[in-house]
Amino acid sequence: MKVHDSISPDMVHWMHKQAMFFVASAPLSAEGHVNLSPRGYDCFRVLSPNAVAWLDLTGSGNETAAHLQENGRITLMFCAFEGEPQILRLYGKGETLLPESPEWQQLIDQFPPLPGPRQIIRVNVERVQTSCGYSVPFMEYRADRDRLLDLSIKKGEAGLKEYRKQKNSRSIDGLDIKLKD
């Protein structure tokens, strides 16, 4: 394991080659659930050596947003499933940026126009850690799945708004989540 002060250009290049990454967050309560979610699509951006963001699409849960609104703690993990073994973790404090926020307007053009955007998650990175990844298996990337994008297109903006209200406004631990208007 090696700890770094910031994200280097080589790390940026390597992270952008990964087809997916994982996001972990947790509520303050010891009884609350730790959340771990995979993320795909071309939705991740490095904003600076100590800041990253991703475009978060409407999905079946919204635990990351609930935890960030409560305490801000977050970890992102990238694994090499192809090529040389490597694991990279980004530890930091995150925030949820909704479409009506000025920060959204500053960042949204950095992402492709994917259907169903719910929020942008921005993370101020406090620790960068790399490790060997020797036990991570080789896995071949074939393609992104279109199902989430197709569902978002089918629901349309009004349907997505209602879906978010029903499925994304409260965490599994009962935390209320601020949603876009």
Task: Return the domain boundaries, the chain.
Answer: 2-134+144-167
Determine the pLDDT at residue 180: 77
Residue 170 scores a pLDDT above 70: yes
List 88's β-bridge partners, or say none: 78, 130
**Superfamily of chain region 2-134+144-167:** Electron Transport, Fmn-binding Protein; Chain A (2.30.110.10)
**pTM for the whole thing?**
0.96
Residue 140 scores a pLDDT above 90: yes
Residue 155 scores a pLDDT above 80: yes
What Cα–Cα distance (Å) separates residue 25 from each residue in 28, 47, 111, 122? 10, 21, 23, 14
* Residue 127 φ/ψ, nearest 5 degrees: -150, 135
pLDDT above 90: percentage of residues in the chain = 98
pLDDT digits 0-9 by tens, 110-126 = 999 999 999 999 999 99
Q: What is the mean pLDDT of the chain?
A: 96
DSSP 61-79: --HHHHHHHHT-EEEEEEE
pLDDT above 70: percentage of residues in the chain = 99
Residue 22 scores a pLDDT above 90: yes
Residue 108 scores a pLDDT above 90: yes
Distance CA 99, CA 118 (A): 8
CA max distance for the chain? 47
Determine the pLDDT at residue 162: 96
Determine the pLDDT at residue 146: 96
pLDDT digits 0-9 by tens, 50-92 = 999 999 999 999 999 999 999 999 999 999 999 999 999 999 9
pLDDT band at 181 (very low <50, low <70, confident <90, very high): low
